[in-house]
Amino acid sequence: MQLVARAYPETQHLPASLGEIQQAIAVVVGRAYGYFNETIIDSAFQPIYSVPHRRIVGHEGLLRASTAQECRPISPLDLLASAANESQSVFLDRLCRTIHMHNYQVEKTENLWLFLNVSAQVINRRRDHEPFFADLLAQYQVAPRQVVIEIVEGVIPDFALLTEAVQFYREAGCVVAIDDFGAEASDLERIWRVSPDIVKLDRKIIAAAEFNHKARRVLKATVALIHEAGSLALLEGVETATQAAIALDSNADLLQGYYFARPDPIPLLEGDGGLGELAANHPPALRDGMQHQSLQPYVLEFKCALLRLASGQGLKAACNALIALGRIDNCYMTDGDGRQIGPTVRPPNAGQITRFMPLADVRGANWAHKPYHYRAMSQPGELQISHPYLSITSSRLCITLSATFQYGGQTRVLCCDVEWLEEGVRL
Phi and psi torsions of 393, nearest 5°? -105, -45
pLDDT, tens digit (0-9, with 9 covering 90-100), for 16-44: 788 889 999 999 999 999 999 889 999 99
pLDDT, mean over the chain: 84
Distance CA 128, CA 314 (A): 74
Nearest one of 373, 369, 425, 378 to 397, comparing CA atoms: 425
Nearest one of 102, 101, 82 to 92, comparing CA atoms: 82
The DSSP 8-state label assigned to residue 294 in this structure reads G
Domains 18-281 and 293-424 share a fold: no
Distance CA 280, CA 289 (A): 19
Q: Rounded to the nearest 10 degrees, what angle do helices 159-171 and 129-139 cross at? A: 30
State residue 365's pLDDT score.
Answer: 85
pLDDT class for 147, splitting at 50, 70, 90? very high
On whether the pTM is more than 0.85, the answer is no
Q: Does the pLDDT value for residue 291 go beyond 70?
A: no
State residue 310's pLDDT score.
Answer: 92
State residue 113's pLDDT score.
Answer: 94
State residue 155's pLDDT score.
Answer: 63
Boundaries of every domain in the chain: 18-281, 293-424
Distance CA 393, CA 390 (A): 9
The distance in angstroms from the start CA to the end CA of the chain is 50
Nearest one of 123, 136, 118 to 164, comparing CA atoms: 123
CB 194 within 8 A of CB 177: no
State residue 286's pLDDT score.
Answer: 39
Topology of domain 293-424 in CATH is Beta-Lactamase (3.30.450)
CB 278 within 8 A of CB 57: no
pLDDT class for 290, splitting at 50, 70, 90? very low
pLDDT, tens digit (0-9, with 9 covering 90-100), for 369-386: 888 999 999 999 999 988
pLDDT, tens digit (0-9, with 9 covering 90-100), for 196-232: 899 999 899 999 999 888 888 889 888 988 888 888 9
If you average pLDDT over residues 395-401, what whole number do you get? 84
CB 98 within 8 A of CB 135: no
Nearest one of 426, 59, 53 to 236, comparing CA atoms: 59
pLDDT class for 168, splitting at 50, 70, 90? confident
Task: Report in angstroms the alpha-carbon separations of 124 from 121, 158, 170, 231.
Answer: 5, 9, 17, 24
3-state secondary structure of 327: coil
CATH code for residues 18-281: 3.20.20.450
Task: Report in angstroms the alpha-carbon separations of 99 from 28, 79, 80, 105.
Answer: 12, 15, 15, 11
pLDDT, tens digit (0-9, with 9 covering 90-100), for 322-338: 999 988 888 999 999 99
pLDDT, tens digit (0-9, with 9 covering 90-100), for 337-364: 999 998 888 888 776 665 666 777 777 7
Name which of 45-54, 149-158, 412-421 the model is least confident about: 149-158
Distance CA 340, CA 361 (A): 11
Q: Does the pLDDT value for residue 236 go beyond 80?
A: yes
Nearest one of 65, 144, 69 to 101, comparing CA atoms: 144
